[in-house]
Amino acid sequence: MSVHTRNFIAALLVAATVFFFCLSSAETAAARKNIEFSLKKTRISGIEKSGLTLSFLVELTNNSSRHYRLVSYDYAVLINDKEYFRHSVSPDIQIELPAGQKTVISFPVRINYSYLEPFITANSRQASCRLAGEMVFQDERKKSVRLSFALKSEFPIFRLPEIKFLPLLVRDLTIGGADFDFRFSLNNPNPYDLLIQKIFCELSLAGRLVYQGFLPGDKALAAGESKTFTLPLMLDFFEQGRELRDEMEKDRSVFFLKLKVEADSAWDWLVFDLESSHPVDKEFRR
């Protein structure tokens, strides 16, 4: 084969490579226009003393006549613009995106407060969370489409309210029953208001439920504020069991309190549980 022929073939291969690369790039660019995404909202859940879960709810829109499925995605999580961790997912059940339709998917990020010290300043009340990554889709012909995305939201550095048991106000305590007020306080240790709307309460003594219901009255807590709640109780030991009498006759009775709290905030509707178990002193009021 002559040098001229070899050069001609090489030129053809280069031209073909450039042509198919341009064609592939054009198809990819067109396919990216077929799939759009938008951030619907962020949601805070799973609030505990250790942290919370911040979920990004994203709406995907298929503007094309092709059927796509989301086969994998990966992203970096940045807290205050510093990398927190990276995450790659190939879901066992691929998310379908039919032609001309929409679907909503969630990107949950678990925030562990104990790991945030390098990312936040002392006494921070909030921080930013940013996701930067790429989703990979396939159409019916197994052609892949890559779609870059970036999402950002704020989340609170949240400390759970603190429960403190106060002495029982005992009006009557006999062999047959007890008439007393169970009291406790809630303290908001955060540097911002906690607009509590509902508190569902369960109080147990000697393993028996003695009160269940929503707490009445104003429950909102300003920054650093404490508020006292009172539960008037009457126990019938003959009907409810001798175990209650034995526990109430002790110098300090052990109660178990569980609260389910719902509160409004600048970030989202917050739902979290509080619980405490502790011996309680008595004050007799005749």
- Of 170, 55, 37, the C-alpha closest to 95 is 37
Question: What's the rounded Cα separation, in Å, for the pair 218 and 194?
Answer: 12
CATH topology of domain 162-284: Immunoglobulin-like (2.60.40)
Q: At residue 178, does pLDDT exceed 70?
A: yes
- Give the start-to-end residue ranges of the domains of the chain: 28-156, 162-284
**Chain segment 102-147, per-residue pLDDT in tens:** 999 999 999 999 899 899 987 788 999 999 999 999 998 989 999 9
Pairing mode of beta strands 253-264, 208-214:
unpaired
In the sheet that 177-187 helps form, which strands lie side by side, from edge to edge?
Answer: 226-236, 177-187, 162-173, 282-284
Confidence band for 260, pLDDT divided at 50, 70 and 90: very high
Q: At residue 7, does pLDDT exceed 60?
A: no
Q: Which of 32-36, 160-164, 220-224 has the lowest mean pLDDT?
A: 32-36
Q: What is the pTM of this model?
A: 0.77
28-156 and 162-284, same CATH topology: yes
- Torsion angle, CA of 105/125/186/273, rounded to 10 degrees? 20
CATH homologous superfamily for the domain 28-156: Immunoglobulins (2.60.40.10)
